[in-house]
Structure 1
Amino acid sequence: MLERLEAQAIQADAVDGIGFGELGLGGNIVRALKELGAESPFPIQAATIPVVLEGRDVLGRGRTGSGKTIAFGAPTVERLMQLWAEQQRDVENGPDGRRKRQMGRAPRALILAPTRELALQIDRTVQPIAQSVGLFTTQVYGGVPQARQVGALRRGVDIVIGTPGRIEDLLAQGHLDLSDIRITVLDEADHMCDLGFLEPVQRILRETRDGGQKLLFSATLDTGVAALVEEFLVDPAVHEVAGEDQASGTIEHRVFVIDNRDKRDIVAQLADRDGKTLVFSRTRAFAEDLTEHLEDAGVRAVALHGDLNQSRRTRNLQQLTSGRVDVLVATDVAARGIHVDDIDLVIQADAPDEYKTYLHRSGRTGRAGRTGRVVTLIPRNRQRRMNELLDRAEIEVDFEDVRLGDELLFDLGPVEVAAPVEAAAAEASDADAEQSADAEPVASAAE
């Protein structure tokens, strides 16, 4: 069914010289975007913002880091203001003409994300845009007490950003009313389906206002999204960014064939460098083991995985963001949505099992016009499977036989960035729930 939807591809050079105001966004929102570091639109933003403002359903594909959060966040805020003006609601305005918060007001926009990390990062981008025109957002996700979330809903919000499990909980308890939702966004729709959230998402969407606008954004659009598109999207505008695959010039891919017994030492050798490094492991136990090994080798590192509570995960991520540590060792909880500016090396200590995971891990580097490297370590008996995975990902790379201490391992210094872009200008998409051998049950791992 998705193959019958013809995508309109937009080239990066097609948006040169175009500003956000020319796409139809108001002055306050344009100024808010500038304060976030977004001076001019990325291709996916230029392609989709005008059609969102027209009220059309949208199916958008752009790789991780291509700017999807602003692509749906900014026009959602602008569209809410348009709808509010058209409907002439009986709501008192503040002295500056902005809409005042009405106690208990039902939300009018819903943004669904597969994980709490992604929901938080989306809110960090959307909230200042919404505040610039007097609208309010709140985050609704599991893993934390719900009292603060319920309190925000009682005070009245315009945009709810959350994960399916907690949203269904609050719906069942009567704390959340979706009957006035005019715009619904699904970020990482394919991953939502991969995590087993297809039916919860369908139930949630059926609670929203009939005829409401639906926006689906994802780095990949495969058959897992087909049921959602077929049921909920009406004549969608389909957009993708031409040439934005992971094999593009912004990311250098390398595969090192190694002896498995040397893996920890090779990771330490690769990570002992200037610049931020993200290391992926398959299991939580190996993530902790690698972190300890790196610390013993004199490389500052922290771990990120599902056994850590939310505050610890946030704190460890912040240590990498601030530069207090150089290396983050993560399971696939970090494969989407964890946006850390200027990660220039991704090391896959454990190769992924599917090509989509490879693409999303790779998307942690080379973001927003920067360049980066992805190095995958595999044992000799894994070469055939790795070849098949790379073929599916449409990435061409020669395998290199590497031994501990080889000069090649010292040749991965920091990569020069193309054109520095503030972090918030990049899409804040997306954290992944663990799909590893030690993963928790789907819903609890994701939320």
Structure 2
Amino acid sequence: MHRASFRADDSRTKPAHHEEQADVVYERLQAQTVQADEGSTASFSDLGLGENIVNCLAGLGAPHPFPIQAATIPAILEGKDVLARGRTGSGKTIAFGAPLVESILRSQAGQKREFGRAPRALILAPTRELALQLDRTVQPIARSVGLFTTQIYGGVPQARQVGALKKGVDIIIGTPGRIEDLIDQGKLDLSQVRIVVLDEADHMSELGFLEPMQRILRRVADGAQKLLFSATLDREVAALVDEFLVEPAVYEVAGEDQDSGTIDHRVLVIDHRDKAEILTSLVDRPGKTLVFARTRAYTEMLAEQFEDAGIRAVALHGDLNQAKRTRNLKRLTDGKVSVLVATDVAARGIHVDDIDLVIQADAPADHKTYLHRSGRTGRAGRAGTVVTLVARQRRRKMTELLQNAEIHVAFDDARPGDDVIEELAGRQVDPIA
């Protein structure tokens, strides 16, 4: 039985034992490379999707397949297990969502969909925000052919979710914790699930969901198809790959590196006493800005600081209930605020196409977090900027982190009022007389 293989990269792997959390670079999967800059001549119809789904995708703003979609959709429709790595914004949701719906439709051809039917597909995500985001894309595709989705995640009462399951759904999109809760209560039956998607499986593992994912995968139908999509794909998901994926087709999108040109990465080396003033100056700009902070308390403090300066801002972190988290994100999406200050709960799952500036008020702990934070801008080929603030004594650690992420970044010493800050905020810099 052929399994996915990993490429050793010992020169880039750091020891895990260290006083601080080590930024470990795992061995990466060997994969068939898909060139991001190759324009695909295939249409979604050519890839095997039906007319209703193709029309729905056009309505969602996807008239033609992105490279990751062109590569993976035929393999998924053939029933193969698939591993795929492409940066955030490369079109992964459609890459698995559209063929998943098509496959269910084909398998149910000529069958009457019964009330109370068990789900046929499951999509697992690490966070509530990502589950909701996935549903916003997958649900209209499913509805276009008469299939139904439901979201199952914690932090909200389960009654509505249980009610949907009693009526019968075709696709479940949710997080491992609540899904296991409903299984244990006897309210969710996964025995008919024929397709499982693990979206951001590496992040689910980081959050402690490896064993729940394994238990869930052991409950689905024998021989169920497994699809694993992520912006990072390495040895961290080896346990899942080795146990559950059989002869997978493995793809990664080349030419979509974070330094490929759509994102401008900058590091500002600052004195701590200047940090508050520099942050306020950077966010005082047109356009939408996403600011990342390490703690919930600092997130709230920065949002209040920006509001006091007359800049519309809201916070997003784990202490907020789901309704408020959703409302605050929607305020940014709708343009009612221009700044969202978030902890890493927002590093994956936020989809706002027109965020053109990401500021890391606190540098990330590791290279993966950097990649996912910066993936909130420059989506789908749009331009964006990522600015990271670091104290002078942390410059070396930041350099190592960026090397692990394989990103080339300009470092600038910065103080309040410097031209580099004015430039990054999009304000005109007067030429030197």
TM-score (normalizing by structure 2): 0.91
Using the alignment, how far apart are the partners of 1:107 and 1:291 within structure 2? 41
Residue of structure 1 equivalent to 2:89? 65
- The residue identity in structure 2 corresponding to 1:340 is V
Residue of structure 2 equivalent to 1:96? none
CA apart distance, 1:243: 1.5
| Aligned counterpart in structure 1 of residue 54 of structure 2, from 25, 30, 35 | 30
Q: Deviations over 1:294-339 (max 9, x none)?
A: 1111111111011111111111111111111110001101101101
- 1:301–1:328 Cα contact (<8 Å) kept: yes
Residue of structure 1 equivalent to 2:177? 165
Residue of structure 1 equivalent to 2:148? 136
Answering whether residue 35 of structure 2 is matched by residue 11 of structure 1, we say yes
Q: Deviations over 1:222-254 (max 9, x none)?
A: 211000000000000001111111111110000
- The residue identity in structure 2 corresponding to 1:133 is V
Residue of structure 2 equivalent to 1:184? 196
Using the alignment, how far apart are the partners of 1:116 and 1:414 within structure 2? 33
Using the alignment, how far apart are the partners of 1:145 and 1:296 within structure 2? 35
Answering whether residue 223 of structure 2 is matched by residue 211 of structure 1, we say yes
- The residue identity in structure 1 corresponding to 2:59 is E
CA apart distance, 1:17: 3.2
Using the alignment, how far apart are the partners of 1:388 and 1:376 within structure 2? 14
- 2:123–2:174 Cα contact (<8 Å) kept: yes
Residue of structure 1 equivalent to 2:74? 50
Using the alignment, how far apart are the partners of 2:401 and 2:173 within structure 1? 34
Residue of structure 1 equivalent to 2:337? 325
| Aligned counterpart in structure 1 of residue 377 of structure 2, from 359, 362, 365 | 365
Using the alignment, how far apart are the partners of 2:426 and 2:340 within structure 1? 16
CA apart distance, 1:288: 0.7
Using the alignment, how far apart are the partners of 2:161 and 2:138 within structure 1? 17
Residue of structure 1 equivalent to 2:354? 342
- The residue identity in structure 1 corresponding to 2:77 is L
SS in 2 for 1:14: coil
Rate the CA distance shift 1:25–1:107 in 2: closer, same or farther, 3 A.
same
Using the alignment, how far apart are the partners of 1:26 and 1:117 within structure 2? 29
Residue of structure 2 equivalent to 1:200? 212
Answering whether residue 96 of structure 2 is matched by residue 79 of structure 1, we say no
CA apart distance, 1:2: 2.6
CA apart distance, 1:6: 3.3
SS in 1 for 2:70: helix
Using the alignment, how far apart are the partners of 2:169 and 2:280 within structure 1? 47
SS in 1 for 2:371: helix
- The residue identity in structure 2 corresponding to 1:121 is Q
| Aligned counterpart in structure 1 of residue 364 of structure 2, from 352, 357, 362 | 352
Answering whether residue 353 of structure 2 is matched by residue 305 of structure 1, we say no
Rate the CA distance shift 1:238–1:274 in 2: closer, same or farther, 3 A.
same
- 1:15–1:46 Cα contact (<8 Å) kept: no
Using the alignment, how far apart are the partners of 1:330 and 1:11 within structure 2? 33
SS in 1 for 2:189: coil
- The residue identity in structure 2 corresponding to 1:69 is T
Q: Deviations over 1:160-195 (max 9, x none)?
A: 111000100110111111001100000001001111
Using the alignment, how far apart are the partners of 1:373 and 1:120 within structure 2? 26
- 1:140–1:162 Cα contact (<8 Å) kept: yes
Percent same amino acid at aligned positions?
72
Rate the CA distance shift 1:198–1:72 in 2: closer, same or farther, 3 A.
same
- 1:62–1:219 Cα contact (<8 Å) kept: yes
- The residue identity in structure 2 corresponding to 1:260 is H
Using the alignment, how far apart are the partners of 2:182 and 2:148 within structure 1? 18
CA apart distance, 1:412: 2.2
- The residue identity in structure 2 corresponding to 1:182 is R
- The residue identity in structure 2 corresponding to 1:255 is V
Q: Deviations over 1:274-309 (max 9, x none)?
A: 111000000111111111111111111111011111
Residue of structure 2 equivalent to 1:248? 260
Residue of structure 2 equivalent to 1:290? 302
CA apart distance, 1:15: 3.5
- The residue identity in structure 2 corresponding to 1:287 is T
- 1:275–1:413 Cα contact (<8 Å) kept: no
Using the alignment, how far apart are the partners of 1:2 and 1:34 within structure 2? 37
- 2:40–2:70 Cα contact (<8 Å) kept: no
SS in 1 for 2:108: helix
- 1:135–1:158 Cα contact (<8 Å) kept: yes
Answering whether residue 122 of structure 2 is matched by residue 102 of structure 1, we say no
SS in 1 for 2:133: helix
**Runs of at least 5 residues in structure 2 that lack an aligned partner in the other structure:** 9-28, 428-433
CA apart distance, 1:12: 2.8
- The residue identity in structure 2 corresponding to 1:3 is R
- 1:61–1:241 Cα contact (<8 Å) kept: yes
Residue of structure 2 equivalent to 1:390? 402
Using the alignment, how far apart are the partners of 2:310 and 2:42 within structure 1? 47
- 2:36–2:67 Cα contact (<8 Å) kept: yes
Residue of structure 2 equivalent to 1:433? none
Q: Deviations over 1:94-121 (max 9, x none)?
A: xxxxxxx421100000000011111111
Structure 1 consecutive aligned stretches of length 4 or more whose deviation exceeds 6 Å? none
Using the alignment, how far apart are the partners of 1:304 and 1:6 within structure 2? 37
Using the alignment, how far apart are the partners of 2:258 and 2:142 within structure 1? 32
CA apart distance, 1:414: 5.7
Map 1:263-278 → 2, pairs under 5 A: 263-278=275-290
Using the alignment, how far apart are the partners of 2:36 and 2:219 within structure 1? 38
- 2:40–2:66 Cα contact (<8 Å) kept: no
Which structure has more relative contact order (CA 8 Å, sep 6+)? It is 1
**How many residue pairs were aligned?**
403
Residue of structure 1 equivalent to 2:411? 399
CA apart distance, 1:396: 1.3
- 1:344–1:414 Cα contact (<8 Å) kept: no
TM-score (normalizing by structure 1): 0.88
**Runs of at least 5 residues in structure 1 that lack an aligned partner in the other structure:** 92-100, 416-447
- 1:275–1:414 Cα contact (<8 Å) kept: no
- 2:72–2:95 Cα contact (<8 Å) kept: yes
- The residue identity in structure 2 corresponding to 1:291 is A
SS in 2 for 1:18: coil
